Amino acid sequence: MKFSTLLRHLREGSLSVVRNGWMSFASISSIAISLFILGVFLLLTLNVNNLTKQIENQVQIRVFLSLDISREKIEAIGRSIGALPEVSRIRFVSKAEGLEILRRNLGEDGQGILDEYDDTNNPLPDSYTVEVVDPERIAEVAAKIRAIGDADPDRPIRSVRYGQGTVEMLFRVTNAVRNVGLVIVLGLAFTATLLISNTIRITIFARRREIGIMKLVGATNSFIRWPFFVEGALLGFIGSAVTTAVLLAAYNWLVQSLQLEFGLMMIRLVTVRESGLLVAGVLIGIGTLIGIWGSAISVRKYLKV
Partner 1 sequence: MIEMRDVWKIYPDGSQALRGVSVLIERNEFVYIVGPSGAGKSTFMKLIYREEVPTRGEISVNGFNIGKLKPRKIPYIRRNIGVVFQDFRLLPKLTVYENVAFAMEVIEAPRRLIRKRVMEVLELVGLKSKANSLPAQLSGGEQQRVAIARAIVNNPAVIVADEPTGNLDPETSWGIMNLLEEIHFRGATIVMATHNKEIVNTLRKRVIAIENGVIVRDEPKGEYGYEI
273 touching partner 1, by CB under 8 A:
no
Least distance to partner 1, CB of residue 265, Å: 58
Question: Closest distance between partner 1 and the C-beta of residue 14, in Å?
Answer: 14
72-98 CB burial, b ≥16 within 10 A, e <16:
eebeebbebbeebeebeebeebebeeb
Instruction: State the nearest-atom distance from the C-beta of 213 to partner 1, in Å.
Output: 5
Question: Which residues from 59-78 bind partner 1, rule CB under 8 A?
Answer: none
Among 19, 53, 161, 172, binds partner 1 (CB under 8 A): 19
Residue 271 in contact with partner 1, rule: CB under 8 A: no
For partner 1, the binding residues in 163-222 under the rule CB under 8 A are 209-210, 212-221
Q: Is 104 in the site for partner 1 (CB under 8 A)?
A: no
Site residue total, partner 1 (CB under 8 A):
19
> 65: which strand partners?
157
Nearest distance, CB of residue 25 and partner 1, angstroms: 17
**21 counts as binding partner 1 under rule CB under 8 A:** no
* 18 interacts with partner 1 by CB under 8 A: no
Residues contributing to the site for partner 1 (CB under 8 A): 2, 4-5, 8, 19, 209-210, 212-221, 223, 305
